[in-house]
Each structure stands twice: as C-alpha cells, then as structure tokens.
A and B are shown apart, each in its own frame.
Chain A
Amino acid sequence: MRLSSDLSENEALFKTRFKDGDVVFSYVKAGRRNALLLYIDALTDLTSLSEYVLAPLYKLRPLPKPEKIAALIPKPGTRVVTEVKDVISSVIDGKAVLLFDGDSSALSIDTKKFDSRSIAEPPTSAVVKGPREGFTESVKTNLSLIRRRLKTEKLKIVKLTVGRITKTDVFVLYLSNVTDDKIVNSVVRRVSLIDVDGAVDSSYVAKFIAERKTSLFRQSGNTEKPDILAAKMLEGRVGILVDGSPIALTVPYLLFEDFQSSEDYFQSTYRSNMARVIRLISITLAILLPSVFVSAQLFHLQIIPLNFLLTIVNSIKGIPLSPSLEMFFTLLVFEILNEASVRMPKYVGMALSVVGALVLGDTAVRAGIVSTPTIMIMALSGICLYTVPELVDSMSFLRLIYLFVAGSLGGFGIIILTGLLIVYLVSLENFDTPFLAPFSPLVKSDLKDGITMAFLPDMKLRPVTLKPKNKVRINDEK
C-alpha cells in the first residue's frame, strides 16, 4: 500500500496502526510546508534529529522533493520510502520518518540511539593476564571490538534477521581467506532457516543451529570476550553475534575447546600445560569420584587402601542411608545450594554459604545422617567441576547418572557407561567436524594445542580439523 499525498489521511492511517503504542506524532515545519514526524522516543536521538534534520529543513526554501532532501541531510542511512509497510518497519526499527504534506513519499532518517552498557570485563571470563574487554548487549559495539582486532578486508560479515516479532539482527562473521566455505554456507543456511517468534539471546540461535537438538552436550562454543572470538576466527571458525546478547557463538565447536583458556596463550607455556592437565584431571574426578567411591564401598572394597577403609568404616557406623543414597542425598543438597546461591541476591548469598556449609554440612555429620568422607568426596567433586565452568551443565547431570549406575551395577557399570559415552561422543559431529577431535579421530598436527600445548612459535599450522583454506599460520620465510 502506497502513501497518500494527503498528510491528514496519512496521519489517520498511522494513528490507527500505532494505536496504544509509544510512537510520537509531531507536526513540524519543513520550509513553508507542514510535515509529520513519526518516531519512538526511547529509540531516537532527539538532539541529532533537531540539529541535523529539522533545523536545516526549516530553513530550506523552497522545499525540494524528498529525493533531493535525502541527499542534503548529513545522516547516512537516510532514504526515501513510499510504502506504508516501509514507514512502519522504519519507525519500529528506531528511525524517524518525515511525511510531507502534498507528497506521497517520505524520508526515513537513521537517528537511532540506544543506551547500552559500557565495555567491561565479563564476570564469567575474568583473567589475570590478557585483555579484559568484554562484549556488551549492543551488537554495533561488539562488531567494532572485532573490527579493531581483525584489520583486514577478508573479515566478512553476513547480516541476517531472526525472529518474526523480535526481528533480531544476527551477524555471521568469518575470515574469507581462512574459513572453509562449506562451514560458512552451512551456518548461514541454518540461521536463515530459523523460524521462531523471537530470539532474545544468542543461546536461542545456538539451540536452533545445533545438529543434535536433544544432545546433552552443547554444539557451539561461546565467549564473552572479543580477543577469544578473534583468536577462534583466526583458527578458521565462524563467529555469530546476536543483537542484545553479550555472548558470541563460535562454530564448529570441539569439546576440548572448553579445556583451553585464553590465558593459556598469555602466560608461560609450562604453566599452561600444567593448568590444562589439572582441568582434565579435575573434570574426570568431578564426574567419577562420587561414583567410584560408592562403587568401591558397595562392590570393590579391595581397591580402598586398608587405613582409609578403617576410616570409612568408623565414620559410616550408624549412618542410616546406603552409600549410594547417602552420596545422592549429599549431591542433591549441593545442587540445591548451588542453584539457590546463583539466584539469590548477593547479600543473602553469604548467609546461604554459612547455612549450607556450616549448619547443614556440620549438623548432618553430627546427627549421623551423612558421613565425613562422603561430604569430603562431594566437596572435592563440586570444586573440581568448576575448573571448567562451561561444562558444568552437562557434567553435573552426567555425575548423577554415573552415581546411579555405580550404586546399582558397580565398576562394570561405570565402564559400560563410559564406553557408551565415548561411542556417543565420537559419533557426534557438528558442521562435519568431529566433536572429540583432535583425539578421535586422531589429528597429529592439532595435538600441539590439545590437552597439552606447544610453544606458540611452534604452532605453525591452523587446526586441520577445521579444514581451513589457508593452513599456514606462521610464515617462516621472513
């Protein structure tokens, strides 16, 4: 439907369309003619609108056609619109629209202004060494942070829109001379196919582009830091930024990415290697320690050293619960405390810690409901889990499954469950990239940045697993 040349007719039409909304209708003078200005107060920069648009227009005599005015306004993104739907989408998008009396075309002027959080260190990825900048909710700010780090025309950004109602801007970022085209095309296709009413965060996009939507393991990496996103893109990954979300997605995602920290590349390689091995051991302990302890108590007493066995026997005397039920109960309390401490306001958090750790833990042991070794095992497992915070969701669930299996079937059950898990993990692929690479399938050259890492100058090639167009990272010729 085209605009009418009668301003009052247009006004009546848009007042009906924007009924009960926050759109401002304001009559202004453009030259000697009347003009109707439509904008949303919360999204518009009124100073720049008055200074760069309304004031010059007022002085223009005679008023030229909107096409000519568009060229005169010093605001990029100004365009002429003639359709009603274009006026509506422009206003909703935060632009100001100027309708002229006696003219069936209008001007859409980009005067968007959003209040956004300033760049700060993300709380989930604090580092001792290395950049401290974090993404914000403004995608423009986030794009600028990436642009600042990747100063090349090879950085390509594909803009897509997701959400029938939210119309969220989603940007797919990649380096055209590095990233495999198949991966880029696949990401763009999957994002384009998302048909949902709204995507309020990048995690929505992550769930829709996942190959196995019901998988226990997430299938895209995420980061709140531009330096990590830039580093991953340099390896051949695709980045996804979603407007309104401070978390960027990276694909393809490999499980072992979570065992790597950005700090590993900034500190001594020896220290980084130690840290990575500790993380791997910690995660293994986090999942297996409670189940192995229960299984040992129930089925394999011979694996417990005699002195430790005596300690256990003394401490479980009079405990009414079976070892598996006791551990399950303790883990459940831990999960409840964890959930509550995340949701509670900070000032209550301290009280919760006291109640949880001292009152509940100590009293439960004194009351003879749980034994001291169980509390110790649970606490160690809980701490170990947080050495790799990205894996907490899936691993805490796995821990419970392991516990159930260990209590019912013992060590052989643990072995079978591990076998099932390994088969499942090795068969997982996202964007044609094996989830457990570079360990399965074994990619020798990629092991330089695996559980252990080589010295940075020795990492001459990009990860082969990601099939980069240009494999060479360090040029030795210079």
Chain B
Amino acid sequence: MNAIKATINEKNSLKVRQICFILLAFSPVTKIISMPAEIALVAGEGLWLTLLTSFLIEGLTILFILYLSEKRGNGTFYSLLETTFGKPAAKIIYFLIAAYLTVKSLLPVLENKAYIENTVYEMSPDRITFFVFFIFSAYLSVKGLKILGRAADIAVWFTCAGFLVALGLSVGAADYANLLPIFKKPAYNFVNALFRALPWQNDSIYILLFCGHFRPEKAYKTRITLSYFAGAFLTLVFVTTFYGIYGKIAPSQNFALPSMSVFSVIVTNIGRFDFLAIFFIMFSQVFALSIPTMLAVKCVTRALSINNSIVPSLTINGVLAFATAFLCSQTSVILSFNTNVLSYVYAGFTAFFVLTLLTTKKRSKE
C-alpha cells in the first residue's frame, strides 16, 4: 500500500469523497435536459426501466474499472498502457480518448446552449452570451483534477438543493400512472433506447481517467459505485416525474426542467422561486459540461508529455466553441445523429477502453 501511496500524483490527487461528489453533483445534471424526451420518444412508458438498466450497466462498468485498477496496482491508465503496450501505444490511446471526449462533449454543450437561450431567458439574449462558457471551461481545464474535486465539494450542495426544490414542486403535478403499463413497447425499442442514452453516459470514462489520482480508502469501490447510483436515482426520480407530468407528449418536451414546477400551487401563489433551483442546477451544469474538455486536455498534455496545459486547453475549447458556433442551428440534427448513429460508436469506444484496461499488465513498482 505504501508503494501505491508514493506513486500517486499528489498534485492532481483527488479524495474518494470528492469522486463521489463529482458523480453525485455532475452526473445527474447533464441527463435532465434533452435525454428524458429522447428516451421517451422510443421507450415511452418504459423509459424509467430503460434508464434503470442503462444506469445499472454504467454503474457495474464503474465497479469493474475500479476492481481492475486495484488489481493492476492502482496506477493511472496511462502508466498501465505504457507498461503493457509501450509509450507510443499509450500516447495514441490517450489521443483517442481526448478525441472521444471532445466529440462527446459537443452534444451536451449544444443542448445546453439551446436550453439556456430558449427557456431560461425570456428576452432572447445576445448570441455571444453562451460563449462565455468556454472561458470558464478553458480556465477549469487548466486548473486540473484537484480543483475539480474541490469544486465538487461545493457544487454537490447546489445540485442536491436544486433537485430537492425542483422535484418537490413538481411531484404534486405528476400522475405516475402514466408510467403504466411497464412493458408496452417491444423489446427492440427497449434496446434501442438503451443505446440512445449513451451520448449522456460518460461516468465510466471519467473513473477510468481518475484512477491513479486518488488514494484508495476503505470500501472506496462501494462508495464510488453507490454515489453513482445515488446520482442515477435522482435522475430516475426526475425522469419518472417528467413522464408523470407530460405522459404521451413527453417526447416533445425537450427542455422541461423550468416548466415542470409551474403547475405547483406554491409557485402560483408565491412566484417563480423555482428559478432558484434552476439556477442552482445550472451552476453544477457548467462544471459538468467542462469535465469532458478538462479530461481531454489532461489526456493531450499527458500524451504530449508537457506540463503547461494552457495551449491544449485553449485549443480544445476553441475547437468546441467554433463547432458550437457553426452547429448551433443544427442542434436537433446533431441530437438525432448522436442518438441514432454515434451512440453505437460511443458504446464501441467505451468497450474498447475497458477491454484495453482488462488486457493491461500489473504495473511494476516504481
């Protein structure tokens, strides 16, 4: 254990608690914008069962990655790749992960842009408004994992408070009988919906890249996996409430969060204080949206063996900003391309990364 402790990169070290908070604070907030409507489109009443299965698969993948990482000596994924396949292969795989994360981060960025501009703002904001996000993302990407962990220590309370208020005001209007019968749609729809959820599932890759950056503590695998499931539970409650409120018209309700609580008598009487919850969730969303770019920057700096992450951060965020500017009018096309085509590619990549970890050799003691 001492040898393990000594080799952990202290500069970027995370605490197990912070990884739990990252999963709890940032995982559910990206899955409540367009995903519920997209899944409802195919799975209908069975959307919760589809998502439950999807979360179970992702959660077990996380547990499997943590188990494998422990078996391989708790090194970073890069060090394992380097030990097994050599430096060039490790660099190629890290570039691949960076590209994968950058491409995968585009959809959440685009949907958030549309969500913020169309629903949060009553008066249409300037087109430049959303682009300040990339300044934040570039700044966070430079700061590294330690700062992300510390930010999660704060953001977790915002996420929990946001969900608590938003759901608390929405459950009264939900008719959960809308979710019956459970097995109405054919099995094909269930499998198709499982794949459609993949563009929003990043957590196993995050854990893969966090490996080697935290000190293993007592029952850490269980704690991390349970935190993922806690976040998944929040998402499931949201999704079932969403379908409970909208029923058959749920597939057309892409940005439902701000409108779900308007049916509450409390909001009618007091005013739209539910916006406080929406802004709390938005606070966590900007961090959640930045995680893929931050990890992509980390992969690039590792692959290029450079210490300064400013240039990779500016490059990746610049590319994303340009892509967002050019594709923002095609959000629905990108969404459909991601859910219909790219989701299978994402599944393949995730399987490839996990299998690569499986084939790695145990790290020699450095």
Q: From A444, which residue of chain B is reached at the shortest CB distance?
A: B17
Q: Does A311 contact B (CB under 8 A)?
A: no
* Binary interface encoding of chain A residues 438-449 relative to chain B, with 1 for a CB under 8 A from any of its CBs, else 0: 011110000000
Within 8 A of A (CB), among B124-145: 125-126, 129-130, 132-133, 135-136, 139-140, 143
Contact of B275 among A302, A408, A434 (CB under 8 A): A302
Report chain B residues within 8 Å CB of A434. 150
Report chain B residues within 8 Å CB of A409. 125-126, 129, 132
B272 touches A303 (CB 8 A): yes
Q: Does A474 contact B (CB under 8 A)?
A: no
Q: How far is the CB of A291 from the nearest CB of chain B, in Å?
A: 12
Stretch among B37-45, B89-97, B280-288 lining the A interface: B280-288
B147 touches A415 (CB 8 A): no
A442 touches B120 (CB 8 A): no
Q: How far is the CB of A228 from the nearest CB of chain B, in Å?
A: 27
How far is B130's CA from A410's CA once the two chains are assembled, in angstroms?
Answer: 10
How far is B135's CA from A66's CA once the two chains are assembled, in angstroms?
Answer: 73
Q: From A292, which residue of chain B is reached at the shortest CB distance?
A: B279
A439 touches B129 (CB 8 A): no
How far is B133's CA from A411's CA once the two chains are assembled, in angstroms?
Answer: 12
How far is B272's CA from A305's CA once the two chains are assembled, in angstroms?
Answer: 7
Q: From A306, which residue of chain B is reached at the shortest CB distance?
A: B271
* Binary interface encoding of chain B residues 256-292 relative to chain A, with 1 for a CB under 8 A from any of its CBs, else 0: 0000000000000011100100010011001100000
Q: Does B121 contact A (CB under 8 A)?
A: yes
* A304, A308, A409, A414: residue with the most chain B Cβ atoms closer than 10 Å: A409
Q: How far is the CB of B117 from the nearest CB of chain A, in Å?
A: 9
Are A420 and B272 CB-contacts (below 8 A) given A410-B125, A427-B143? no
Are A412 and B283 CB-contacts (below 8 A) given A304-B271, A426-B154? no
Contact of B133 among A416, A427, A436, A439 (CB under 8 A): A416
A305 touches B270 (CB 8 A): yes
Main secondary structure of the interface of A (DSSP, over half): helix
How far is B270's CA from A306's CA once the two chains are assembled, in angstroms?
Answer: 10
Q: Does A344 contact B (CB under 8 A)?
A: no
How far is B153's CA from A436's CA once the two chains are assembled, in angstroms?
Answer: 10
Report chain A residues within 8 Å CB of B15. 441
Report chain B residues within 8 Å CB of A305. 270-272
B18 touches A441 (CB 8 A): yes
How far is B136's CA from A298's CA once the two chains are assembled, in angstroms?
Answer: 23
Q: Does A419 contact B (CB under 8 A)?
A: yes
How far is B136's CA from A418's CA once the two chains are assembled, in angstroms?
Answer: 10
A412 touches B154 (CB 8 A): no
Q: Does B108 contact A (CB under 8 A)?
A: no
* B18, B153, B283, B287: residue with the most chain A Cβ atoms closer than 10 Å: B153
How far is B121's CA from A300's CA once the two chains are assembled, in angstroms?
Answer: 6
Report chain B residues within 8 Å CB of A302. 122, 272, 275
Q: From B152, which residue of chain A is reached at the shortest CB distance?
A: A440
Q: How far is the CB of A268 from the nearest CB of chain B, in Å?
A: 27
Q: How far is the CB of A204 from the nearest CB of chain B, in Å?
A: 31
* Binary interface encoding of chain A residues 417-457 relative to chain B, with 1 for a CB under 8 A from any of its CBs, else 0: 01110110011000000101001111000000000000000
Contact of B283 among A301, A308, A418, A442 (CB under 8 A): A418
B130 touches A440 (CB 8 A): no
Report chain B residues within 8 Å CB of A439. 153-154
B283 touches A419 (CB 8 A): yes
Q: How far is the CB of B41 from the nearest CB of chain A, in Å?
A: 28
Q: Does B149 contact A (CB under 8 A)?
A: yes
Within 8 A of B (CB), among A60-102: none
B151 touches A416 (CB 8 A): no
A416 touches B122 (CB 8 A): no
Q: Does A334 contact B (CB under 8 A)?
A: no
Q: From B149, which residue of chain A is reached at the shortest CB distance?
A: A441
Q: From A443, which residue of chain B is reached at the shortest CB distance?
A: B153
Are A410 and B18 CB-contacts (below 8 A) given A423-B139, A440-B154? no
Report chain B residues within 8 Å CB of A301. 122-123
B270 touches A411 (CB 8 A): no
How far is B279's CA from A427's CA once the two chains are assembled, in angstroms?
Answer: 23
Within 8 A of B (CB), among A195-235: none
Q: Does B116 contact A (CB under 8 A)?
A: yes
Within 8 A of A (CB), among B93-123: 116, 120-123
Within 8 A of A (CB), among B61-84: none
* A303, A308, A416: residue with the most chain B Cβ atoms closer than 10 Å: A416
B271 touches A413 (CB 8 A): no
B125 touches A412 (CB 8 A): yes
Q: How far is the CB of B115 from the nearest CB of chain A, in Å?
A: 10
Q: How far is the CB of A149 from the nearest CB of chain B, in Å?
A: 35
Q: How far is the CB of A188 from the nearest CB of chain B, in Å?
A: 25
Contact of A412 among B140, B155, B282 (CB under 8 A): B282
A426 touches B279 (CB 8 A): no
A299 touches B123 (CB 8 A): yes
How far is B286's CA from A434's CA once the two chains are assembled, in angstroms?
Answer: 23
Q: From A434, which residue of chain B is reached at the shortest CB distance?
A: B150
Q: List 18 A-B contacts (CB under 8 A).
A: A298-B123, A300-B275, A301-B122, A301-B123, A303-B272, A303-B275, A410-B129, A412-B129, A414-B279, A415-B286, A422-B151, A422-B155, A423-B143, A426-B150, A426-B154, A427-B143, A436-B150, A440-B153
